[in-house]
């Protein structure tokens, strides 16, 4: 049994992960800014699940969420940075506001989570940070998601460097990156400037399937995990093709 905090916990992958972890006996805290949806998600998880209303794009609110989770759970074993948002706009049409929003939601929210939970993990000499990225953070294969993809590439690099720094100074703290593909949630519909329904796209996974893989990554403390069965092979093939001059 572990004490696990999940940001972006009011819907989609975060809510599905909360339900799975609570069902198997972990102590769970869900964090999100939408109070009604958050409390409904926590209720579906069962009694004892904490609902912490906070905007993860604001450092002070993330710091408060860490404190509330520690107070409610006793300590934190795993912090899952899952909050994020997509966008539908070609790169030649992107504005400053588009880039700022993608960086704030997809990078800063995770950055704040990593930095604010770290003192707690350092004091215990143990812990795990799980950052939820995307296949688009590895392969920029969908042009209208350019700014989203770029923000996740940034997150991937930040994650790798956090991991390397902590491996040297605090080997009991693991930093895990999880890269889902298309997931059947409201993610596409909630993208900036609108978007297609992710449920209609081919080769998609359910939020429950992705949650199960994240749970296994928590258990194994693996460093780098893809949720599509062929995810790693697709990345290797993509960059091999670029190297061949395609």
Q: Is residue 74 over pLDDT 70?
A: yes
**Rounded Cα gap, residues 195 and 201, in angstroms:** 12
**Rounded Cα gap, residues 228 and 48, in angstroms:** 32
Chain CA centroid to CA 116, Å:
16
Q: Is residue 243 over pLDDT 90?
A: no
Q: pLDDT of 184-240, one tens digit each? A: 999 999 999 998 889 988 889 999 999 999 999 999 999 999 999 999 999 999 999
Nearest 5°: the CA angle 202, 204, 206 is: 150
Name every residue whose Cβ is closer than 8 Å to that of residue 165 and which is 6 or more positions away in sequence. Answer: none
Count CB-CB contacts under 10 A for residue 146. Answer: 22
**Rounded Cα gap, residues 154 and 17, in angstroms:** 24
Confidence band of 245 (pLDDT split at 50, 70, 90): low
Q: pLDDT of 107-164, one tens digit each? A: 999 999 999 999 999 999 999 999 999 999 999 999 999 999 999 999 999 999 999 9
Residue 176 near residue 154, CB atoms below 8 Å:
no
What is the pLDDT at residue 242? 82
Q: Is residue 62 over pLDDT 90?
A: yes
Residue 45 near residue 22, CB atoms below 8 Å:
yes
As given in the structure block, the two tokens for residue 56 are 């993860």
What is the pLDDT at residue 244? 61
Predicted structure pTM score: 0.96
Point out which residues pair with 132 in neighbouring strands: 178
**Rounded Cα gap, residues 78 and 115, in angstroms:** 13
What is the pLDDT at residue 10? 97
As given in the structure block, the two tokens for residue 154 are 């940034």
As given in the structure block, the two tokens for residue 245 are 């001059």
As given in the structure block, the two tokens for residue 95 are 């504005």
Beta strands (DSSP E) in the chain are 3-7, 27-32, 50-53, 78-81, 127-132, 173-179, 224-226
Point out the residues that are catalytic.
148
* Structural domains of the chain, with CATH: 3-243 (3.40.50.720)
């Amino acid at each position: 049994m572990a004490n696990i905090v999940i940001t972006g916990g009011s819907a989609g992958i975060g809510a599905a992960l909360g339900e799975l972890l609570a069902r198997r006996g972990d102590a769970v805290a869900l964090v999100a800014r939408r109070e009604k949806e958050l409390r409904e998600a926590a209720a579906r998880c069962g009694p004892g699940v904490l609902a912490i209303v906070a905007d993860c794009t604001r450092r002070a609110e993330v710091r408060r969420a860490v404190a509330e989770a520690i107070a409610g759970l006793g300590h934190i074993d795993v912090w899952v940075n899952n909050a994020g948002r997509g966008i539908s706009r070609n790169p030649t049409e992107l504005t400053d506001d588009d880039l700022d929003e993608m960086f704030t939601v997809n990078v800063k929210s995770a950055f704040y989570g990593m930095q604010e939970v770290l003192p707690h993990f350092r004091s215990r000499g143990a812990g795990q940070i799980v950052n939820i990225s995307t296949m688009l953070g590895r392969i920029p294969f969908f042009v209208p998601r350019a700014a989203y993809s770029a923000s996740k590439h940034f997150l991937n690099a930040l994650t790798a460097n956090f991991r390397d720094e902590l491996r040297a100074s605090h080997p009991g703290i693991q930093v895990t990156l999880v890269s889902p593909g298309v997931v059947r949630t409201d993610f596409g519909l909630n993208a900036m400037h609108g978007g297609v329904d992710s449920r209609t796209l081919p080769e998609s996974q359910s939020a429950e399937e992705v949650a199960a893989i994240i749970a296994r990554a928590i258990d194994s403390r693996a460093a780098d995990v893809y949720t599509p069965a062929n995810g790693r092979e697709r990345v290797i093939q993509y960059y091999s093709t670029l190297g061949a001059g395609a």
